[in-house]
Amino acid sequence: MLNFNFYSPTEFVFGKERENEVGALIKKYGGSKALIHYGGGSVVRSGLLDRVKASLEKEGVPYVELGGVMPNPRDSKVYEGINLVKENGIDFILSVGGGSCIDSSKAIAAGSVYDGDFWDYYSGKAGPIEKALPVGTILTIAAAGSEGSGDSVITKEDGMLKRGASGSGIRPKFSVMNPELLFTLPSYQTACGATDIMAHVFERYFTNTKEVEITDRLCEAVLMTMIKETPRVIADPKNYEACANIMWAGTVAHTNIVGVGRDQDWNSHGIEHELSALYDCAHGAGLAVIMPAWMEFVYKHDVMRFAQVAERVWGCKMNYGNPEATALEGIKRFRMFLKSIGMPINFEELGAKVEDIQTMVDKMGINGETGGFVHLKPEDVKTIYEIAAKATI
Amino acid sequence: MLNFNFYSPTEFVFGKERENEVGALIKKYGGSKALIHYGGGSVVRSGLLDRVKASLEKEGVPYVELGGVMPNPRDSKVYEGINLVKENGIDFILSVGGGSCIDSSKAIAAGSVYDGDFWDYYSGKAGPIEKALPVGTILTIAAAGSEGSGDSVITKEDGMLKRGASGSGIRPKFSVMNPELLFTLPSYQTACGATDIMAHVFERYFTNTKEVEITDRLCEAVLMTMIKETPRVIADPKNYEACANIMWAGTVAHTNIVGVGRDQDWNSHGIEHELSALYDCAHGAGLAVIMPAWMEFVYKHDVMRFAQVAERVWGCKMNYGNPEATALEGIKRFRMFLKSIGMPINFEELGAKVEDIQTMVDKMGINGETGGFVHLKPEDVKTIYEIAAKATI
């Protein structure tokens, strides 16, 4: 096991109607004037935004609103938020939405107290982010895990560059998680979120660190939960228990408690980011196309690890005479599962184009090779895109 | 799933040689003068205490020492610590030891800023503990999980009353966890610690809350890790990887991330506390005798839950025609496992006496019945002690 620090100080406030406590939570964590940041009309239409405002008003917390966060959140909205914060003397950022909204909120929180362009953190010119206004979240989709992480991903519109930043300063102080808020999600979004959660686990699972049984088992626990509960939510979006399981699994998957002490991969995320940046597709849908292709490209690097997940998670019988067959069977079952919950599994289904592959490889800007489970050269990434392009079951 | 709050703000600093960072960690968390609290001679003999002092001296953090914490830590030592803190203007408590030492440190931290007798928190007269001096720990045994919890158990010498207190104020600010510090533990202590860790999971696993797949799976992950890694540590106490797995599993088992959203039991802990209070035996050894007996007494309340753990964790084959047989097979394998790692499984092996049973039942002071998975009346507890007394394999 590698040396590590694990620090997850976010207070998770989980369950029915907990969003009504948000005013008190903001005050508890030192906020006196809030920016309420949200995305599209669903939080308005559902009445959630009204309940949030009522809670702030009840506690005497004034607020300014900024809606319009888009999936794959943009730098322009972040600049808008930073200006609002500075003009209005805001000292707390409240995100009401999913991962995109949280990531945009984190960028605003960091940029508002940074003496320079917030993009410095995302371009790698500055970081990690240690100083930021406090952020709280009300989560409306189980997916990104951003509600419990110190990470944020923003897309710069000039060139559609999708880049990430990290730091303890942008970990949410609290995250309100009411599974009932998932009831109105379209199945496609639920499935995209579930795919993202599973991908967060797989990025940690495929490691070159040996003998990390505890984190292996914890990863498998989250994956098995997702395999059981996702189809239940798709079949019955108002199944509270199934929604609750997915929602907590999504957080556990990304606080890093299942990934400490081991090197991790994250190449599938990097490869996918070019897809969602170019086509503005959902991140989870892009991962459904990329991750099984990545697995097919790298599995020979550690056949027994792929056989292990095939047996423990996907319920394959170990083929002791041919472990490679078991490894491949596990990857096949992953892709079949993704298909079964309505995810695309190749370029055509995603709306991506083979002729863009070289552009995406170039945009990744790989300097020599990537890190991770298997180090990838640009030509390897190209092959992975090509496998993904024509995948079938 | 039940509504819950999950808040675990402790910074875990895990890995080789991390104890050398302790001086800087105390400063990071606002300490300017520390009480170094420890138990017996092992931390002195091993050189650990010298390394800790060197780290504090390097960072210019003055300190006062208080050794002599005993297993099943006593109130007298807590009073001694509180006096030292007040006399010396100490503002940080550093525990160097296992669960007993951490629990004693937490009691000192709370009692030093409480306007009254610290025992009020343990007798139920006051609480939860919200205000306390900051506590940091350097863990020397994987067992109690106290390094990541807001709990403390102290024994009052007058009457040998063993009682617990809780509150967010006594959660450690940081816990340093170096698996190498486990290398010198006697096998018996390792096994007691492992039993305690598994018991912390089982207390959460047996619940009346339905459809909590994520926490079921996380519980099972910790249990399977312990079943694999404990015998490896017993066979080879200097196996770093096995020690590391057990050490992190012990923390995961008790931060409550595996137990949120479900009602929990904790009757085995309550029943055991009377054994360790009366005979001063190790808590883990007492649990090894009590917990399987408790399982045999209650399993009919939810046969399928016991069958589930038998199949998923102990590798039993489900007997679909007779699930009860599977449930009982799982309990049997648990007891066999405990025996295999050197734990006592009945009163004789523990050094307990059948004629004390009624005294222990009376000392528990059950008012009507306990809460938990199965509510227990005093006569039920008596039966459990009787099953435990004569258990065999």
Q: Burial level of B334, CB count in 10 A (0-12/13-18/19+)? A: buried
Q: What pLDDT is attached to residue A41? A: 83
| Integer CA distances (angstroms), B177 to A214, B63, B139, B140, B314, in order | 15, 21, 5, 8, 29
Quote the distance between the C-alpha of residue A253 and its chain's center: 9
pLDDT value for B40: 80
Determine which of A16, A216, A229, A248 to mutate to test the interface with B (most B C-beta atoms within 10 Å).
A248
Given pLDDT bands bounded at 50, 70 and 90, which one contains residue B196? very high
Find, in chain A, the residue whose alpha carbon is nearest to that of B252.
A257
Specify the pLDDT at position B153. 94
Query: Within 13 Å and on the Cβ side, how many CA atoms surround B243?
Result: 23
Is residue A136 within 8 Å of residue A25, measured between CB atoms? yes
A247-296: pLDDT as tens digits: 999 999 999 999 999 999 999 999 999 999 899 999 999 999 999 999 99
Contact between chains at A252 and B214 (C-beta distance less than 8 A): yes
Tens-level pLDDT at each residue, chain A (393 residues): 999 999 999 999 999 999 999 999 999 999 999 999 999 889 999 999 999 999 999 999 999 999 999 988 999 999 999 999 999 999 999 999 999 999 999 999 999 999 999 999 999 999 999 999 999 999 999 999 999 999 999 999 998 898 999 999 999 999 999 999 999 999 999 999 999 999 999 999 999 999 999 999 999 999 999 999 999 999 999 999 999 999 999 999 999 999 999 999 999 999 999 999 899 999 999 999 999 999 999 999 999 999 999 999 999 999 999 999 999 999 999 999 999 999 999 999 999 999 999 999 999 999 999 999 999 999 999 999 999 999 999
Which residue in A178, A180, A214, A313 has the most chain B C-beta atoms within 10 A of its own C-beta, making it the best mutation to test that interface?
Answer: A214
Nearest to B138 by CA among B146, B150, B127, B128: B146
What share of residues in chain B are helix, strand, coil (percent, to 5)? 55, 10, 35
Whether B221 sits inside 8 A of A221 (CB atoms) is yes
ipTM > 0.85 for the complex: yes
Phi-psi sector, B250: left (phi>0), alpha (psi -120 to 50), beta = alpha
Ramachandran category for residue A142: left, alpha or beta (phi over 0 → left; psi -120 to 50 → alpha): beta
The DSSP secondary-structure symbol of A271 reads: H
Distance CA B173, CA B9 (A): 7
Pairing of strands B4-14, B174-177: parallel
Q: Which of B265, B306, B305, B303 is nearest to B287 (CA)?
A: B265
Closest Cα partner for A322 from A313, A310, A312, A333?
A: A310
- A2/B15 Cβ within 8 A: yes
Report the gap between the CA of A356 and the closest CA in chain B (Å): 40
**Closest CA of chain B from A87, distance in Å:** 33
Distance (Å, whole) CA B133 – CA A287:
47
Q: B173, B182, B217: best mutation site toward chain A, by most A Cβ within 10 Å?
A: B217
**Is residue B162 over pLDDT 90?**
no
Structure letter (DSSP) for residue B74: B
Q: Is the dihedral of CA A74, A250, A281, A38 positive or negative?
A: negative
Give chain B positions within 8 Å (CB) of A248.
Answer: 1, 214-215, 260-261
Question: CA B357 to CA B5: how far, in whole Å?
Answer: 38
Residue type, B346: N
- What pLDDT is recorded for position A61? 98
Query: Binning pLDDT at 50, 70 and 90, where does residue B377 land?
Result: very high
Closest residue, chain B, to A217 (C-alpha): B221
What is the Cα–Cα distance from A205 to A228, expressed in whole angstroms? 19
Chain B residues with a Cβ under 8 Å from any Cβ in chain A: 1-16, 18, 179, 210-215, 217-218, 220-222, 224-225, 228-229, 240-242, 244-245, 248-249, 252, 257, 260-261
Question: Which of chain A's residues have a Cβ under 8 Å away from the Cβ of B248?
Answer: 1, 214-215, 260-261
* pLDDT of B160 higher than 90: no
Mean local confidence (pLDDT), B209-217? 98
Q: What is the pLDDT of residue A160?
A: 87
